[in-house]
Structure formats: C-alpha cells, structure tokens
Chains A and B, each alone.
Chain A
C-alpha cells in the first residue's frame, strides 16, 4: 500500500510556498448491529425484505431500525414487507467517483415498498430514463450471489 500512496511535494511557481500532497489511511468498519444484521441476513438467506414496526405510531421502518424516531420506543416487532413498491423520487448520476458500486450512469431512486412507511434508497435498472416517473411501480431484483450486503438487492426494476 505504501507504494500506492507515496506523497509528493510541489513548490508553487514564483512563491516560496510548498504544497504537500498526502494521503491518510483511516480504515472504517461499520457494524450493522443486531437489527441491521437481521435485515441483511433475511435478504441474503431468504430473499425476504423485513421491517420493524412501531405499534404506538403505526409506522413500519424499512430498512429495519432499532428505535422509533417519533416515540423513542425500542422496536422488536419484525414484519415482512413486499418486494414490490412505488418510486417516490429519482435521479441519475453521470460521473463516477470510486465509491459507487457500478459504473455510471446510475439511476438512484427512493422506493417505498408495499407495507413500509418509509422510503429506501437504491438503484434502478432495466428501464429507460425517459420512461421513469414518480409513482412508478417497481420490484426488487435480487443478486444471484448474496453476501449480506444491501447490494444483495441488485436493483429495482419496473413491474
């Protein structure tokens, strides 16, 4: 790695000012926790999309989360929601920046699955940009090889 990350120093023209081009390596591990793990494992093992429900507020959170933001209840009621839903909004990313999982252009959308109260961000495919519309019905397409990642849902496609 050190090789890849050699830093360099640039002296500005006509000025006694030096610019140091460096890189800092700070690894990041995100722990999905018990609730997040179960959400991902259900998709991986059973192709099931599960949410957590707050009965006080009558809200189903998808992706599942552990706390209801409205009433602060701890959520432990799991409900399966549909793999079909409605497109709430969308955009297209034309530039790549290295953190994206696939090559651009990428259609990003917010999808509210049937049975869920919240929208979730994911990608859309098998659709022409011109035909996209808010309110469009979509379904989840699962990846063949699933590893316990949100990308186990490969993308959403029109119904």
Chain B
C-alpha cells in the first residue's frame, strides 16, 4: 500500500467582473449655488443664518434642522481663516475612490474650524508629519484653475503664524 496522496483538485469558481463608471448629475440648488457663485467669482466663503437660533447653517441650506424653520437669505461672508482641530494623513496609499485609481491624497486632510464657527474638512499644505503636530492657524489658498466647484475651489489650507 502506498501512502502517497493525490493532490486534491481545487474547485474552479467563476466570477464576472463589471467595471463601468456610473454617471450622475448633482444640482447645487439655490442655497449651495450661492456658495458656489461667491467662491467662483469673489473667492469668498458664504453661508446663511437661521432666523430663529441665529446659528450659521453650514453648508448653506433652505431650512434649519434644529429649529424646523425656513432659513431665508440672511447671508454672511465668512473668514477664510481657521483652526485645525483634527488631522490625518495616509501612510499606506489608499485609493482614489472617485476614479478607482490607486493613489494617495497628496495632502493631509484636516477638520478645520473656521473663525465663524463652522467646520469643514479640507487639505493642508503642510506635509511634514513632525511639523503637522504644530499646525494650528490656517488660511484658505484658492485655486487658480478648474474653479466652479464650491469648496473645491480651495486648493488647500496654508499655515499662518500668529
């Protein structure tokens, strides 16, 4: 008798791969449209204020969800300066989820509190992990080209000394 074992044949499983990008159209609507317009034409960040609780809505919106009231047209031009609250950077390259390419975001991302009190997530110009630890005050740097994309018109936030 032989103890030799025949290698078990691995079962073959079939899979079908479909890789088609899906198109969509997204409308800013009236309120976000104002943000897009001001960013595009005047390099300014604007948002509207709730008439009841007086809080800034962010991004601009037609209603205040907290008060359940119509927000209206009380527009405020905000500062392009703020403070970094949280940040992170990719060490292992993830992927560009928009296009499926393997590529890391070129800049660290941060949650920034603008001086007017609203939060936004954006890129930081500073890439050095050590220097990032000390980044506090930042200022928006606007793109020169490819504008018309609201907050996407900002290239990144640059460190400012105070």
- Binding between chains A and B: yes
B residues adjacent to A (C-beta < 8 A): 11-30, 32-34, 36-37, 96-101, 148-150
A residues adjacent to B (C-beta < 8 A): 1-2, 4-5, 9, 11, 15-34, 36-37, 40-41, 98-99, 148-149
18 contacts between A and B (CB under 8 A): A1-B21, A1-B100, A1-B101, A17-B29, A18-B33, A18-B36, A21-B25, A22-B25, A24-B21, A25-B100, A30-B18, A31-B15, A34-B13, A37-B11, A37-B12, A37-B14, A99-B20, A149-B16
Q: Which residue of A lies closest to B38 (CB)?
A: A16
Contact of B11 among A4, A18, A34, A99 (CB under 8 A): A34
Set of chain B residues within 8 Å of A15, measured between Cβ atoms:
30, 33
Interface of A is mostly: mixed
User: Contacts A1-B99, A25-B98, A32-B13 known; A17 to B30 CB distance under 8 Å?
Assistant: yes
Q: Tell me the bound Cα distance from A41 to B25 in angstroms.
A: 41
User: Contacts A17-B33, A41-B12 known; A28 to B18 CB distance under 8 Å?
Assistant: yes
Set of chain A residues within 8 Å of B28, measured between Cβ atoms:
17-20
